[in-house]
Amino acid sequence: MNAIKALLQPRSVAVIGASRKRGKIGHEVLRNLIDFGYSGKIYPVNPNADTVRGLRCYPSVLSIGGDVDLAVVCVPAEMVPEAVTGCGRKGVRVVAVVSSGFKEIGRSDLEERVVETASRHGMRVLGPNIFGVICTPSKLNASFGPRIVRPGRIAFITQSGAIGIALMYFTILEHIGLSAVVSMGNKSDIDDSDLLEYFSEDPHTSVVLIYMEGLVRGRRFLGAAMRTSVKKPVIVIKAGRTSKGAQAASTHTGALASSFRVMLGAFNQSGVLYASSIEQAFDWARIFVEDFRPLGGNLLILTNGGGLGVLAADACDDQGVELMKPTQKLREELKKHMPYFGSVENPIDLTAVADDDAYYESVLTAVGDPDVHTVLAMYTQGPLTDPTLIAAKIIKAMKDVRLATRKPIVFCGVGGEQVERAIRLLQEAGIPAYRTPERSVSAVSVLLRYTRARARVEKKLAMLSSR
Amino acid sequence: MNAIKALLQPRSVAVIGASRKRGKIGHEVLRNLIDFGYSGKIYPVNPNADTVRGLRCYPSVLSIGGDVDLAVVCVPAEMVPEAVTGCGRKGVRVVAVVSSGFKEIGRSDLEERVVETASRHGMRVLGPNIFGVICTPSKLNASFGPRIVRPGRIAFITQSGAIGIALMYFTILEHIGLSAVVSMGNKSDIDDSDLLEYFSEDPHTSVVLIYMEGLVRGRRFLGAAMRTSVKKPVIVIKAGRTSKGAQAASTHTGALASSFRVMLGAFNQSGVLYASSIEQAFDWARIFVEDFRPLGGNLLILTNGGGLGVLAADACDDQGVELMKPTQKLREELKKHMPYFGSVENPIDLTAVADDDAYYESVLTAVGDPDVHTVLAMYTQGPLTDPTLIAAKIIKAMKDVRLATRKPIVFCGVGGEQVERAIRLLQEAGIPAYRTPERSVSAVSVLLRYTRARARVEKKLAMLSSR
């Protein structure tokens, strides 16, 4: 069994330092593990307890009868090398060291000892200084982060523990589903590249999102990113990309920030999609979950408000997205679903009277037109129409054509509470939905960029392998 | 009485075309007027009804006994000139023409007739093709937009009706308070400049936000913007700023888009703050509502997560915000409120253990330091702390120093539901609070830019007047 597989799909987990005291990290990790519904064997290890949270407790990892795939280490830093030695003797496959107090506070010596020990026993190390590891298909939540994780198809890898936990809360709020969350902490051994190799093959993952501060072993990362990018998108948020940010990062993790311009060039070469903010990264991830297959760059925008169309057109110009010129045939078809004062110039203005039926018919028309490659349906809330009804009809239109096409349909709604509800309905039905024209166009844009990047990287990999 | 004052603080309002039928625009305008609690006289005008919504109805505006300050015209376009003639004879001060069917569909002739008629009688015209006018201090909602409007200190002027209404719903959702909403539609007579002159003097308005598509009478606008900017900020969202957007705009309102680069230069000269999105415009407006007075550009960031600090530092670099170097004294003070592994380099890392007391003490310390000009308190949600408690203590810190200083305090929270609650608490207490590092730094940045722009425009106006 591959070490990363043992980390994310372990058949058994030992929690070393499983405290009886609530609030202690070792206690919380065990509690999440139990409460999230992990079905493998769980072994709390604590020499001073008989049971923790109703489970039989072991004085040491060596005293466990069965095999242990993953050991989550929560004991104080000074005790970690000894704990890892025990794991090695036991034949553990991989250790996740949650404990902090290593390189991040100047104790590189202790960290090196941990990695050397593990390596001597053929084990890999995640961490130290992490909040844990989560894999929703395995029902594994070996972390002291949020207990609830919404299952989904985004694998989220984070170098910062605090940001990682905060974003887990954020994904719950924003109804974003995750296949896995891996906190990498100090990246003493297992790093982004190892995880990319795993997630590129993982059938539960459609897109990988990495929050990165420092990049170590850059060349290896770029190779892994290339191999992953031809299968699924890799989105990177790079903190510390400016000189002020890099300075702050060096205080924080001790990572040496590379020159960002060089890094951005390398990212582009490898197909990595660089996101400039957390919000953008998750906006992008959302659209990749849907497995859309745009056949080209022709975008058709449908809107019930001219102003929103203008803002979207500005965003298209900013982001290099083409607004197709509708054919005469398409114009005539669309005219049937709008009043005489509507507009069939792209963005198509269905006007404020456009109801759910008008959206249904015009989305069907647009998706059915072979020249249209992507449809962006936009809505500004007004007194005449109900966005939740419109959402329902767009979902129906999508379902009516789903078997025939994987043409992207994206929604943008501007308004209040009812628009929020419409957005939720659409997201849950598999239509990426956004709150501003800029964000929706950004999602359309990244889909096209990824399609092009993948083709480019495929060619490059083919060239490299034919040498 | 000035015409714009008559528009926003009328002593009496006639609704011409006050239909008995729900859903009809004339009915909805009257309904909003009554339900929003307008205390002046309301006169429905409709020759085919005795009463509408319980109010006595008049067959014509001339048959009304008392004076009429504002007439809201909702009859079909072809009937508007006649209605306006009646208003002129009656001695109405200002007419707001809600009806559409004018220049926007090629009927410039009809529109010109309306303006000429009004002008002959000394009346001003708002519109046509608008959704109405709202003024919260006057409890006036003469619109067919949302019935509920949150009172506040932002005056919102919009050229697009659909965007205007959608953003009114958005302000309710986002707890944004408005002093006024004015839909300008075709801007046949009353335009941005007239409204700026009024809002610059309006004691209920702290900041003016304009959604603009086309700019007519540009020189006049820039003059009005300069005179306003020295008193309060003017934020403009300009749709149709790119070539694609301008093309879409010309379809929509028939407005000729000026060269954006030229316009942006003129905006800068006049102190206008140009926002590139709706979201940004409202983010900025929020911070100006608080009447902060930054004494300089020194920003101190407090955070409970290094990663968030790095992202904020990147945003500072991007947006030209200085991260001050804390003095030895400040460092020593701050050290008292963090564990030994915290950092007193700016961004100050209070670490994940920072609780409400740590935030309270460090915010107090930062605000109390004469070298610190602005404080940005950041929070990443973690399992150890409760963001609503932290919010409460930041509010307490703010109140404890409020009498002594108008130093800006801004909050940024990343996380889930609890962070959303914390953000609401802070916003309601007068601390601008944002969901991402980029947005919070953008707000800090615009505050500094406005302070500098105001000084520049003041100097220029003084020079012009001394000639």
Answer yes or no: are the C-beta atoms of B425 and B388 closer than 8 Å: yes
Is the confidence at residue A255, as pLDDT, over 70? Answer: no
Among A252, A300, A340, the residue to mutate for chain B (most B Cβ within 10 A): A252
Least confident of B73-77, B150-154, B398-402: B398-402
Query: Distance from B436 to chain A by nearest Cα, in Å?
Result: 8
> Band of the pLDDT at A258, cuts 50, 70, 90?
low
Answer yes or no: are the C-beta atoms of B388 and B418 closer than 8 Å: yes
Instruction: Report the pLDDT averaged over residues A231-241.
Output: 94
Q: What share of chain A is helix, strand, coil (3-state, %, to 5)?
A: 45, 20, 35
Tens-place pLDDT, residues A148-204: 999 999 999 999 999 999 999 999 999 999 999 999 999 999 999 999 999 999 999
Residue B198: name the closest of B258, B137, B142, B275 by CA: B137
pLDDT of A253? 53
Tens-place pLDDT, residues B216-248: 788 999 999 999 999 999 999 999 888 888 888
Q: Facing residues of A37 across strands?
A: none
Contact call for A383 and B240, based on CB within 8 A: no
Supply the mean pLDDT for chain A.
94
**For residues B375 and B357, what is the distance between their CA atoms, to the nearest angstrom?**
17
Name the helix (H) or strand (E) containing B364. Answer: helix B356-368
Contact call for A436 and B277, based on CB within 8 A: yes
pLDDT of B435? 96
Q: Which chain B positions have a beta carbon within 8 Å of A240's beta carbon?
A: 310, 313-314
> Band of the pLDDT at A403, cuts 50, 70, 90?
low
By CA distance, what is A106's nearest residue in B?
A: B341
Instruction: Report the pLDDT averaged over residues A202-209.
Output: 98
Is the confidence at residue A404, as pLDDT, over 90? Answer: no
Strands B140-143 and B132-135: antiparallel
In chain A, what percentage of residues exceed pLDDT 70?
97
By CA distance, what is B347's nearest residue in A?
A: A248
Q: Which of left, alpha, beta for A446 (phi over 0: left; psi -120 to 50: alpha)?
A: alpha
> Band of the pLDDT at A446, cuts 50, 70, 90?
very high
Q: Which chain A positions have a beta carbon within 8 Å of B414's beta carbon?
A: 163, 166-167, 170, 278
Contact call for A310 and B211, based on CB within 8 A: no
Contact call for A244 and B145, based on CB within 8 A: no
pLDDT of B85? 98
Strands A51-52 and A55-56: antiparallel
Tens-place pLDDT, residues B172-200: 999 999 999 999 999 999 999 999 999 99
Contact call for B245 and A381, based on CB within 8 A: no
Residue B240 is nearest to which of A278, A314, A437, comparing CB atoms?
A314
Which residues touch A444 (CB under 8 Å, ≥6 apart)? A287, A299, A321, A374, A376, A408, A410
Among B130, B252, B420, the residue to mutate for chain A (most A Cβ within 10 A): B252
Classify A188 as helix, strand or coil: coil
Q: What are phi and psi of B166, to 5 degrees?
A: -60, -40
Answer yes or no: are the C-beta atoms of A285 and A450 closer than 8 Å: no
**For residues B149 and B168, what is the distance between their CA atoms, to the nearest angstrom?**
7
Ordered structural domains, chain A, with CATH:
1-129 (3.40.50.720), 149-289 (3.40.50.261), 299-451 (3.40.50.261)
Contact call for B307 and A160, based on CB within 8 A: yes
Which tokens go with B149? 């409007």
Is the confidence at residue A28, as pLDDT, over 60? Answer: yes
Is the confidence at residue A405, as pLDDT, over 90? Answer: no
**For residues B329 and B344, what is the distance between their CA atoms, to the nearest angstrom?**
11
Residue B166 is nearest to which of A239, A249, A414, comparing CB atoms?
A414
Residue B69: name the closest of B128, B153, B138, B164 by CA: B138
pLDDT of A105? 87
Q: Which residue has the tokens 């993982």?
A: A202
Tens-place pLDDT, residues A238-252: 998 888 888 887 765
**For residues A421 and A6, what is the distance between their CA atoms, to the nearest angstrom?**
40
Which tokens go with B112? 């010109």
